[in-house]
Structure 1
Amino acid sequence: MTKAETGGGRSAPDLYERKATGLVRSISLRSSIYFNVTTVGVMWSVLALTQIAGGFADADPVVTAIIAVVVCLAPVLLYGLFTAAIPRSGGDYVWVGRTFRPWVGLAVNVNATTWFVLANGFLSYLVAQDALPTAFVTLGKAFNSETIAGWAGTISSPGWTFAIGVIVLVMSGILTAAVPMRKAMKVMAGFFTVTMAGLVVAILALLFTDRSDVVNGIAGAGGDYDAIISAGAASGFGAGGFSLWSCLLAIPPLYLALAYTVAGAYTGGEVRNPRKTGVLGPLTASAMVGVLVVIAFSAAARTLGSDFISAASFLSASGDPAYTLGQPASFFYFVTLGTDSPIVLTIIAVAYFAAPLSTILATVLFSTRNLFAWSFDRILPTKVSEVSPKTNTPVVAPIIVTLVSTVYLAFLVWGSPTFSAAFGAIILGTTISFIVTAIAAIVFPFRRRALYASSAVRGEFMGIPVLSIVGALALVVYGFVFYALVSQDALGVNNSTGFMATVIVLTIALIAYPLAYAANKSRGVDLALVGRELPPE
């Protein structure tokens, strides 16, 4: 082991660096952008339009999007700077654990990773419940085929939903374990291209569509444009009100996309140039998604009409009988109402189906790196950190992630609706981990002075470490998002189910280290020594 730090902070122990993990630094800047964009799913990002419009009567989705793009830069930059400072697999597990104590770092990372793994199960569920049905309905319209459109109802049955979900999860797990990261990034590049094309085509379709085409399309789908607006206005939606405060409170749905473009941070041990890629990768991804979202929202407001979007979104979400359209309100459904072009409809259908697949694959990739980091620190059995000599990728970790996601999928398909409702707390649960990470960034330059001084982000502004400044800004963003989540009913988190799910996952995260410590202590291994070591390259 190589000594990496002497002293640092108040009586902080010396840090030692362990090397040789079997992982290879193969993620370039371009790959990082693909990876981070597909993690949040650029196609899924614009779905926040209907949640904002239908949940906040006085919020302008375009204004909300612009604000979200700006405020989310701080959280994204925070993870980028930490990646450049300590480019190791595990992300916040490493940063927080080495700033404070291993217990804190593990709790933060277990909490976030649990939600990420559950997200895979939820997304695999949505493949058969939302992505594929929407794609089939769209393709049915494109090719004037009732047979294809009818497949939407067939695959929504419990058996088909579970079978399709399992296939998606297993294929993602196999791809993660059996393909070198360099090739996996090429797959991510393919998903990036397909989903990006779908969103761009949707935006162009809106820009070249007249309002009259939309009105006729809505009539053909069994609705009435003016009647929907009138019904929404009667409930306070679509009446043209505006409040900047409402725009701020409506940020979380977009924050989920824009501030989560930090997936590369968890694969820091495989980033080729941490100083450059670690920072520019997530920032570019977030800015790219943000700009497209603003353009998409603006195009929708121009063609569909803000009043219609707000009214239809509210009526659809509340189950009001005045909403008589064939599909739930969503950005892409609205786009398909205004066009009959088979090419446009086919591209949107394929891209919409590819969106959850890309997110699942990306989440499996970085979640396995977290398990890998725990295993290398002996939190989990060392078998979990086993790396294939052929592919230089973890072998056992993808199996664990796939199994847990599959179990949650089963609960979603055959269990109580509570399991689905509980997943809504993902933003609240992960934000708690992000808050602790922001605090760690603020104090890291002071607690680990020597390590910070030797890092790639050791700059200062007016005598204050840049990392501390960014950490403070990110903490403000995280704190406000947390406030919005617990105070606004429209976000669907501040209920007993959401709070209970958050508490359960946090409890698991908090007891993980004591259990691992006791198990290792019985074998004569002191996990406290982990805090005196830097994780492996």
Structure 2
Amino acid sequence: MEDGDSDSGLHSTKTLSTSFNKINASSSKPTLFLREASGLVRAWSTYDAFVYATLSINLVTLGLYIFSFAVWWPNANLIPAIIISSFFMAFEVITYASLIAIMPRAGGDYVWQTRVFGGFIGFVLAVTGWVFILWHWVPIYGQILVYEVFTPILLLLGNITGSEALKSVALWFSTSDGLFASSMIVIVVVSFIISLGMRWYARIQKWLFHFALLG
């Protein structure tokens, strides 16, 4: 009995020692977030999440697009409205960056909203935001691409070079066919970037973010 107890105790000691060695080895090597059960690897840092959240509500694209409608309210105070809304949007950026850092799970909004608001409300919000609303973002970004990139640049080049063809193409992009074409361009470019994987997506968005800051 004593020999058996001794062997059992020795085995338990070796098991604990092995466990501690594994813990020490894993803690000494900085690795990406990894869920052993599913193999999910966290490919984004907190800064990547912050950049993504900032670009999602950025001034250059959505801001200028929204500001273009201010002409319909000539007596409104646009500058104070921008300052007030920017203050509140900063909390959204911080919230999403924190959620990505604290709870890095596949599913994004669906996971966070169902944890915070419950299953039913979280499901409704997630389906509305990531299924129905996304259908509208394609033509919206296609129109932004026309208003802020294709039409002004082509018109500028047309005026510089005196090319009527460039001016015609610039005006064509303002038609329904041009909007459809720009929407298809958005789909192709976005699909290609996403196909590269989340790591490359994070790299590309950081490059563009830093380039935009320099601009």
Structure 1 residue 143, shift from structure 2 partner: 4.2
Quick check: 2:151–2:174 contact (8 Å CA) kept in 1?
A: yes
Q: What aligned pairs does 1:342-357 form with structure 2 within 5 A after superposition?
A: none
Residue identity opposite 1:169 in structure 2: I
Report if aligned partners of 1:133, 1:153 keep a CA contact under 8 Å in 2: yes
TM, length-normalised to structure 1? 0.29
1:19-418 equivalences in 2 (<5 Å)? 19-44=36-61, 45-52=63-70, 54-55=72-73, 57=75, 59-113=76-130, 114-128=132-146, 131-177=149-195, 179-197=196-214, 200=215
One-letter amino acid of the counterpart of residue 60, structure 1: N
Alpha-carbon distance between aligned partners in 2 of 1:71 and 1:41, rounded to the nearest angstrom: 13
Which structure dedicates a bigger proportion of its chain to helix?
2
CA-based RMSD: 3.1
Structure 2 CA distance for aligned equivalents of residues 164 and 49 of structure 1: 21
Shift of residue 29 of structure 1? 4.0
Where does the alignment leave 5 or more consecutive residues of structure 1 unmatched? 1-17, 201-537
Shift in CA distance, 35/71, structure 1 to aligned 2, threshold 3 Å: closer
Partner of 2:32: none
Aligned partners of 2:46 and 2:100 also within 8 Å: no
Report the Cα distance in structure 2 between the residues aligned to 1:70 and 1:130, rounded to whole angstroms: 25
Moved more, 27-36 or 110-119: 27-36
Residue 182 (structure 1) shift: 1.6
State the one-letter code of the partner of 2:203.
K
Amino acid at match of 1:132: F
- Percentage of identical aligned residues: 22
CA contact under 8 A between 1:42 and 1:195: conserved in structure 2?
no
Q: Could you tell me how far apart the structure 2 residues matched to 1:175 and 1:122 are?
A: 19
In structure 2, the partner of 1:529 is: none
Instruction: Show structure 2 runs of 5+ residues with no match.
Output: 1-34
Q: Could you give the per-residue CA deviations for residues 480-505 of structure 1, whole angstroms, max 9, x where no partner exists?
A: xxxxxxxxxxxxxxxxxxxxxxxxxx
C-alpha spacing 1:36/1:74, structure 2 compared with 1 (3 Å): closer
Q: 1 or 2 for the larger relative contact order (CA 8 Å, sep ≥6)?
A: 1
CA contact (8 A) 1:124 1:168 kept: yes
- Aligned-pair CA distance for 1:64: 2.0
Deviations along 1:11-46, one digit per CA (max 9) or x if unpaired, are xxxxxxx75445432223443344233333432223
In structure 1, C-alpha distance between the alignment counterparts of 2:72 and 2:184, rounded to whole Å? 33
Instruction: Give the superposition deviation at 1:110.
Output: 0.8
Structure-2 separation of matches of 1:29 and 1:84: 6
**SS at the partner of 1:46?**
helix
Instruction: Say which SS state the counterpart of residue 75 (structure 1) adopts.
Output: helix
Structure 2 counterpart of 1:106, one-letter code = F
What's the CA shift for 1:166?
A: 1.9
Report the equivalent of 1:481: none
CA distance in 2, matches of 1:142, 1:36: 37
Distance in 2 separating the partners of 1:55 and 1:66: 17
1:39 and 1:75 map into 2 onto residues whose CA distance is: 10
Q: Distance in 2 between matches of 1:152 and 1:33?
A: 35
Aligned length: 179
Runs of 4+ deviating beyond 6 Å:
none
